[in-house]
Structure 1
């Protein structure tokens, strides 16, 4: 049963070593993420599952002990999923889950944790099914859901400017803050792909997991630095 969830964006720039001289620009975002992860810890889950968007090689389950790296972003930094225990695997965490693992390391997370890489093109109904399967697992389940909003909010954004981006992000942020699982389930997958919104599929996994859970949400961050929508929300 799902008892709590936190939603955080997953830009590698969230890691100060990657951001380097620009690290201070995301201090407020880091603080919001830390608060959301802290609320997860306060819920005392028996299982935490980090869910994040992934390319083909990173999709599927990643056990506790899996390692991620930020070498691809010019930084010799590794993170491990889970503070202790678990077996290191040959498969590296994708970037989104590496950022999630970094957030948990920062919070000194010590409870059992695993991760799931989700393909961004995954159909909404399948996302909902995956979420239901996660919540149906043994024990009190919590999710740390990684994913960004649109990457098209300004002309300097990674996806350039798209006039539809602000409205898409506004609805996603509202739904995350209100724990509105029906609205998340209704997000347009095709539009999300066109706007490069990497969080869509993972948010819909959360929507499936939250069926019948009667959770309430709060939105803790909603900004678009660098022209990308970043949202932080907590459900409990």
Structure 2
């Protein structure tokens, strides 16, 4: 049963070494993410699952200890999910974490996560809503007390300088997602339009709908800790508990 969730954005710029001189611009988002993880930790879950968009990486599960890196962004920063370290070379080495899950691993390390060693699930950006909901229901049934760390960004079309340029629909899409997260409303999250999310480059849609499936019937309360669009991309931090 789902007992808590932390919802965080997943831009590599959350990692100060990647952001370099612009790092202070996301200090408030980093603090909010740490606060959200504190709520998840306080739930004393038996299982923590990190859910994030797969991006260019093949979707699928990742065990505790799986490693990722930000070397592709020009910085020598390597991370791993808490738990037994995965092999780093040779035929037994597992696939590297996609960027969204690598950011999650960095956040967990930043707060000194001391709860259960997390596993992770990368979901395809185009995964259908019902498949997302079913995945969430399966995660919620995996242990008596389940917590999720849900990684995902809102639209990338909030301003003229945004990665996806300005789209007048972007603010409304992000507001609907923010309202659903703040209210811990699985039905409202499930109602987000996958086609519109794709047009707005909103990579959080599928992970948020996995959360919607996990939260069905859980009766949790929501709180929104951060709702901004630096660089023209919607970043949301929230908690369900």
CA contact (8 A) 1:58 1:91 kept: no
Match of 2:191 among 186, 194, 204: 186
Secondary structure, counterpart of 2:161 in structure 1: coil
Q: CA deviation at 1:107?
A: 1.0
CA contact (8 A) 2:10 2:100 kept: yes
Distance 1:94 1:200 in 2: 16
Secondary structure, counterpart of 1:192 in structure 2: helix
Q: CA deviation at 1:56?
A: 5.5
Divergent runs of 4+, >4 A: none
Greater displacement, 64-73 / 105-114: 105-114
Distance 2:137 2:7 in 1: 17
Distance 1:42 1:33 in 2: 14
Counterpart in the other structure of 1:143: 148
1:85 aligns with 2:84: yes
Structure 1 runs not aligned, ≥5 long: none
Counterpart in the other structure of 2:176: 171
TM-score (normalizing by structure 2): 0.95
Residues 131-166 of structure 1 show CA distances to partners (whole Å, capped at 9, x for unaligned) of 001111123110000000000000100000000001
Distance 2:76 2:86 in 1: 22
Q: CA deviation at 1:87?
A: 3.6
> How many residues matched?
235
Counterpart in the other structure of 1:155: 160
Counterpart in the other structure of 1:95: 99
Superposed CA RMSD in Å reads 1.0
Counterpart in the other structure of 2:208: 203
Counterpart in the other structure of 1:225: 230
Greater displacement, 153-162 / 49-58: 49-58
TM-score (normalizing by structure 1): 0.97
Counterpart in the other structure of 1:71: 71
Residues 20-65 of structure 1 show CA distances to partners (whole Å, capped at 9, x for unaligned) of 0000000000000000001111111111000000036341100001
Secondary structure, counterpart of 2:29 in structure 1: helix
Q: CA deviation at 1:85?
A: 2.2
Distance 2:144 2:86 in 1: 22
1:7 aligns with 2:11: no
Match of 2:135 among 116, 130, 139: 130
Structure 2 runs not aligned, ≥5 long: 88-92
1:27 aligns with 2:32: no
